[in-house]
Amino acid sequence: MIKLLFFLFLFSVFLPASSVDEFNNLIKSNNFNFTHSQDTNGQFMFQSEGFIKNNNKEVLIETIKPFRELYTIKDSIVEIYDYELDQKNIYEINDLESNQIIKILSSGIKPNQINGTIEISKNNDLSRFELILNSGKVLIEFNNLMASFQYYDSLNIKNLITLSKV
């Protein structure tokens, strides 16, 4: 009985760190296509799509639809360049409503942010966990090819960001 309890303890301690490391490695070392949708009246409606490139010094997010923009995330700054208006703005990450999602995309997550346990589906090798952040909860699902984030914004609208590995 003591061996079983010890094994369960080890399993519960090391599984989250391993999954968190896998998620962070996926986010930090790959380029992605992304789509962003919002749930309006029970179904997700397209909002934007583009590319994410992470070179470990900065994260570049380029939207191609509906408007062409380039977001450069470096340290605590987000620089937004609007191609159509030929205009650039710079913001502190902490001043932006979506700062928690930006921090996840640029720095990954920490094991202490996970609420509850990490679920791993054996069918499609999908890991799933929930983060508790200052802005609310974020549900994350990922495997070695994709990641998705579901969260509610300040207007209580459900958002879905899906990343597909290039």
Q: What is the mean pLDDT of residues 133-153?
A: 85
Q: What torsion do the CA atoms of 145, 150, 154, 156 make, to the nearest 10 degrees?
A: 150
State whether residue 145 is helix, strand or coil.
coil
Going by C-beta distance under 8 Å and a sequence separation of 6 or more, which residues neighbour residue 61?
Answer: 34, 50, 51, 52, 70, 71, 73, 105
- 87 touches 70 (CB < 8 A): no
**Cα–Cα distances in angstroms (integers) from residue 63 to residues 34, 36, 51, 58, in the given order:** 9, 10, 7, 16
**160 close to 36: Cβ distance less than 8 angstroms:** yes
List, in order of start, the domains of the chain with CATH numbers. Answer: 2-165 (2.50.20.10)
Distance from the Cα of residue 148 to its chain's centroid:
7
CA nearest to 101, candidates 74, 134, 64: 134
Reported as a single tens digit per residue, the pLDDT across 32-54 is: 999 999 887 777 888 899 999 98
Q: Residue 7 pLDDT > 70, yes or no?
A: no
Q: Produce one character per residue of 114-147: b if its CB has 16 or more CB atoms within 10 Å, e if not.
A: beeebeeeeeeeebbbbbebeeeebebbbbeeeb
* pLDDT, tens digit, 9 for 90 and up, residues 72-115: 999 899 999 999 999 999 999 988 887 888 888 888 887 777 76
Q: In this structure, how many other beta carbons lie within 10 angstroms of the beta carbon of residue 104?
A: 23
Closest CA to 163 of 7, 32, 67: 32
Residue 3 has pLDDT above 50, yes or no: no
pLDDT tier, 123 (very low <50, low <70, confident <90, very high otherwise): low
